[in-house]
Each structure stands twice: as C-alpha cells, then as structure tokens.
Structure 1
Amino acid sequence: MGSLDLPHASSFKGGSETFLRNVLESILKTYLKKNPTANTIWEMVQSLDNEKICYDHFTFRTFKVDGYGINSLSSFFMDYGYKVGGDLDFPKKKSRVLWFSPPDVDVPNDGQGLGNGPLPRIVIAEVLVEELSLESQEIIKKYLKPEGGKQAVLSSTLGSLIWEKPTWTDFKQLAEENEFAAWTLMHGYTMNHLAFAVHRFKHSFSDIKCIKQYLEEKGFKLNTDGGILKVSEDGLLLQISTFSERLPVEFADGVTETIPASYIEFTQRLVLPQFKDVPCHEIKEFHRRDAFEVNSADNIMESTRFTAPV
C-alpha cells in the first residue's frame, strides 16, 4: 500500500498517527505507574458507568537552558501536526508556558482514550533559569549536560531522568527559592499532570460540579487555591485538580524524603455564546471555549506545592 493510501499520512511529517498515539500512551502509562492516586482516579473514571475517557491536555515542565526548554519537547509534537495555540506568563514562578493544539484527525463517534479518541492539547512549561539567583542557576546547570534535551520525549516515555539524580542538599536549596524548579530537577520530563475532558464524558461525570462532589466524598484532597472550582473570567472554562500526592524519594546523597509527585485535573469547556443554538449532537471541539486562563493555571500549578495540604 502506498503512503497516499494511508489515512492522515500527509498530516504527520515525522511519521504515522499510530506512532504519535503510541508515544502518548507510553507517557500516560509511565505517569500512572509513578502516581498511585492519579492511577486510582483514572481507573475510577474508566469504571464509572463505562465512562468515555478523553483527555483535554497533557502537561510537562522543563528548564529554559542549554536546549532543555519548551522546544526540547515541542519539536517532536510539532512534527506530528501540533501547532502553537498560545502562551502564558507566570512572573512570580519565574516561568512561562506554551500550549499546543492537536492536529485534525478523524475521530469515530465512539472514539475514546488515546487509541482512537481526540488527541490532547500539549502544555509545556519552562523555568526561566536566568531569572533565578546565581546559586540556583549553578545547581541546575551542574546536572544538565549539553545536548541532553534531545532525549526529552524518550525521557517522558520511560519516566527516567536524563541527568543524574540530584542530592537532597541541592534539591532543598533550590526548593527554598523556587519549588517549580526543584520539582523539575527531581522529576524531569515525566508528565506533570493530565486533564480529563469533562465535556466529552457522558452520563454521571458530564458535569464538573458532580465530579467535584464525588471526589470530595471519596476523600481525595482537591486543590483549594483560588477556590476548588477554578472558573475563567468568561465563565466558560471550569477546572478542578487534586493536590499531588507526596511520595518518598531517595536522593543521590542517600537521604530519603517525601516530596510532591504529580496530580490529576478535570477540565470542562463550555459552548461559546455564538454557538449556543447548535444542537448538542452537532457540537464539536471548535464550538467550545479554547485556550487557558492565566489565573486559574497559576492556582492549579500550586497542586505540586511542597507544603502538604491540610
């Protein structure tokens, strides 16, 4: 069979759509394996009334230094048709974010998950290393080797650090100035969190307020920064997230400490006002609120804060 006969082949200059989906599936499996609470919630969502799982976005953290920044991951996804959707700045966290919209692919009516469902947005943050103190810059650059960022996607799929595991002394010193940077030094390119697309759920989980109530009843700790339910200024983007669970980690100098891992999010995108008369069964993703809200995103980032939630 020639390449012209393959579905969507022209959209993916880096390879096939199947390969892209397999990479995303590997990243997901690594994330779930490393984060027991997130895995529990993922399995719960999957089992409840045979919910149709689809993802709104996958998020990663990087360092803006020596080829390890946003581009180290985004170049792979852009090879597969992803396009820059927008950017967000977080001056207090000394970081910025670019998010990428997925390529257009044919999704069957029963398409779900990463096998044949809608592709997630990709969100990549980077710590603006040059804005940190010289001491923190030296700690980070001590671990990052030239050209290492080229292995970003492989690192995400394996859940393995490209650089050497940091010492507790270095990690603690970095965390005192910037927790965002310290988290990235310890976890690297492992997915920071996934977000379910609530608007694609059916039945019991199709309303984010019902999800919030359900998770609270089950005893999961939800991020309270900015309120448990984060609502955009236009009221069309609704988000909730768990706090990252804290897991024991052995550092390079033999010290074992409990630090934040990853978390999980639920995102609901409501229909834009100009499409309010479109019949429900005809609503597509482009009819809904796109992009992200800086204030909500800033609060959600606190899901990995180092002080344990009460």
Structure 2
Amino acid sequence: MSRIETLNQVLAGLMNRYKERVPDVGAIMQAMLYDGIIQDVEEIENDHIAFRTMGVPPLGIKSFEKIFLHYGYEKRDYYNFPGKKLDAYWYAPPADEYPRIFVSELRVNDLSQSAQDIITSYTQEVTTDPVDKLDLDNAAEVDRFLHSPLWRIPSLEDYNILAEESEYASWVIYNRYYLNHFTISIHNLKEGFNDITLFNNFLERHGFKLNTSGGKIKVSPDGGLLQSATVAEMIEATFADGQKQFIAGSYVEFAERKILPTYAQLPKEQITRKHRREGFEANNADKIFESTYNSQTKGN
C-alpha cells in the first residue's frame, strides 16, 4: 500500500470516530443537505484538522508530527500563544485534496509546580516515544494509536484542578490525541453560503451555538482569513473510580480564505488553493481554542 493510500485510511479513521463523538458534525452536514447547500457530503472540503498535545518528553509536537511527516506533510509556520502557554505549527498536505494539519502543544514547564506534578504523574507512564514503535505504513495500527489512551484515566479531582489553571491541559489529560476539530471550507460552497457571515447565519438558524470569543468571526489582520466555530459539545466523561462529569468534547470550525490580491482578476473557475490566503493566524486560533473552554460551553 502506498503512503497516500495509508494516509487516506488514517484520515478516514479519524473522521469516523470524530463524527461518532461530535453529533454536531452529522447534524451540520444534514442541515447543509436539507438547505441545498450541498448535494452530497463528499462535496465538503476539509480545510484543516487540529490536534492538541502535551509538551513533555517524549511526547508533544516533536513526537506527534512524525506521523504526518511520514505521509508527505511539510512543516510550516510556528505560532506562539503566550496567555495559553502554547506552541503550535501547521503542516501543508502532500496534495490539495488533503486537509492542512494544525498541531499545538502545552508548555507544561510554564505551569505551576502543582499542575506540572499532576500532568507528569500521568505522562511519566510513557517512557519512550510511542510513535517510534509504530509501523507508519500500517493504517490500522496508526488508527488504533490515535484513538488509544497514552496514560491511565485521570481522576476527576486532577481534571478539575488542571482546569482551574489551564483548560487546555485538562482537555488533553482526558481526551489525549482525539481529533480536536475539523474545518469546513466556506469559500468553496455555492453562492449565498460561501461567505462566513452568511454561513454563520445558516448555522444559527438551525440552532447551532457559535464561539463568541473575540466575536463570532475571527479575522486575520490582512483580512484574508476569516474563521468561526461551534462551541464544543459536552460529553459525559467517566473518570478514575467511575466518577462522572460532563466535560467539553470536540467541535466544528469554519474557514473562509480570501483570494490573494495578486490573483483577484482570475476567473472563478481557475481559482485553486494556491490562489487563496494560506496558513493560519495566531490571534484567530487563540480564540478558536476557547471553543472547549467553560466560558463558551456553559449552558451548552
């Protein structure tokens, strides 16, 4: 099996489980079909998918990125999130039909000593880089890895203590490498819905709750990248000793990438991905992260 075929299977596995855990995904797709925005869900372009990691050896970005670099992804820009104590990179796909990948990492050493101690009490169970043990050409093995726990189930007390200091930390300590979100490309939809304001109106008409941090639409300084997101659905999580609590799961993002000024005169049918605003924007992403934060999920 070629690496591209393996990548196809890995991405399909990620999306299948993500749809199971995030009912909004199927509900949004059904609403798009109902309103005639699409005729088939296969028409939806996935702009990017995102993962969260813990910045402790032997984990974090340095470990996780090996999976997708193996399939031909290329590492691109670095992003820093001082307030949330995160680092991130995005990765360009081997071909335009594949989603970009955004991987973030918590700077665990920047947290309080008590938070660090809680995190390392779990992550120390991983003594060697787990990706090094994988056969990356075996799609089933990679799929299992991306949906398997790396450490024991956290206690509810540890989860809540971490959430007080870093909601990102508490999300990762429970969810591990589950897909954090996928992103619908808005600019390639039919007229009347290929503008993020109009698409947000459609979402709200159908009862979907949008992330309001920094406004419902997050806009890059150059105006070329506009993003919005649903608020993460609450899932009933089972913690150590069988304790249960509703916590934030995953969410859905939406992105509109404007045509670059250089290509503004190109006929619409000639516009491809390379003609649009590329990459990401730290301030946009900073607000999108909060789709799983209590300030947004309250009442969801």
Give me the TM-score of the superposition, normalised by structure 2. 0.89
Residue of structure 2 in register with 1:115 after alignment: none
Deviation at 1:72, TM superposition (A): 2.0
The range that moved more, 193-202 or 289-298, is 193-202
Q: Tell me if the contact between 2:63 and 2:129 (Cα under 8 Å) persists in the aligned partners.
A: no
Q: Which residue of 1 aligns with 2:137?
A: none
Change (3 A) 1:156 1:210: farther
Aligned to 1:109: none
Structure 1 match to 2:128:
147
Q: How does 1:154-193 map to 2 (within 5 A)?
A: 154=142, 159-193=147-181
CA deviation after TM superposition for structure 1 residue 148, in Å: 5.5
Unaligned runs of 5+ in 1: 1-8, 10-14, 106-117
Residue 155 of structure 1: how far off its partner (Å): 6.3
SS in 2 for 1:196: strand
Q: Which amino acid aligns with 1:104?
A: A
User: Whole-Å Cα distance in 2 between the matches of residues 95 and 277 of structure 1?
Assistant: 39
Q: Secondary structure at the match of 2:27?
A: helix
Cα distance in 1 for partners of 2:86, 2:294 equals 17
Q: Which residue of 2 aligns with 1:22?
A: 9
Q: Which residue of 1 aligns with 2:237?
A: 249
| 1:85 counterpart residue number | 76
Displacement of 1:203: 4.1
Partner SS for 2:79: strand
- In the alignment, what sits opposite 2:44? 53
Query: Partners in 2 of 1:27 and 1:204 — Cα distance?
Result: 30
Question: 2:10, 2:143 within 8 Å by CA — same for their partners in 1?
Answer: no
After TM superposition, the score normalised by the length of structure 1 is: 0.86
Q: State the distance in 2 between where 1:189 and 1:87 align.
A: 20
Query: Counterparts in 2 of 1:1-310, with a 5 A limit?
Result: 15-45=2-32, 48=36, 49-50=38-39, 52-104=43-95, 118-144=97-123, 145-147=126-128, 149-150=130-131, 154=142, 159-307=147-295, 308-309=297-298
CA contact (8 A) 1:87 1:98 kept: yes
Secondary structure of the corresponding residue to residue 83 of structure 2: helix
Mapped contact 1:156–1:191 kept (Cα < 8 A): no
AA at the equivalent of 1:130: N
- Alignment root-mean-square deviation, CA: 2.0
Aligned residue type for 1:97: A
Distance across 1 between alignment mates of 2:196 and 2:178: 26
CA offsets, 1:74-115, max 9 Å, x none? 11111111111211100111111110011136xxxxxxxxxx
Shifted more, 181-190 versus 253-262: the winner is 253-262
Q: Distance in 2 between matches of 1:246 and 1:136?
A: 24
Say if 1:155 and 1:63 are closer, same or farther in 2 by CA, change over 3 A: farther
Shift of 1:61: 0.2
Q: CA deviation at 1:42?
A: 3.4
C-alpha distance in 2, partners of 1:184/1:45? 31
1-side partners of 2:54 and 2:254: how far apart?
A: 26
| Code of the aligned partner of 2:111 | L
Q: Check the 8 A contact 2:210/2:229 in 1, yes or no.
A: yes
Count of residues in Structure 1 that have an aligned counterpart in Structure 2: 285
Letter in 2 for 1:71: K
- Larger mean CA deviation between 256-265 and 230-239 belongs to 230-239
Q: 1:101-132, CA deviations, whole angstroms, 9 ceiling, x for partnerless residues? A: 11136xxxxxxxxxxxx100000000011111
Q: Using a 3 Å threshold, how does the CA distance of structure 1 residues 33 and 148 change in structure 2: closer, same or farther?
A: farther
- Give the conservation status (yes or no) of the 8 Å contact 2:234–2:246: yes
Q: CA deviation at 1:206?
A: 2.0
Contact 1:27 1:156 in 2 (8 A): no
- Deviation per residue, 1:7-56 (Å, 9 max, x gap): xx9xxxxx421110110110111111111123322343356431521111
CA contact (8 A) 1:223 1:243 kept: yes
Post-superposition CA distance 1:172-228 (Å, at most 9, x none): 111111111110001000010111111222345322222100111111110011110
Paired amino acid for 2:46: Y
Check 1:208–1:76 CA distance in 2 against 1; reply closer, same or farther (3 A cut).
same
Provide the rounded CA distance (Å) in 2 between the counterparts of 1:40 and 1:287.
31
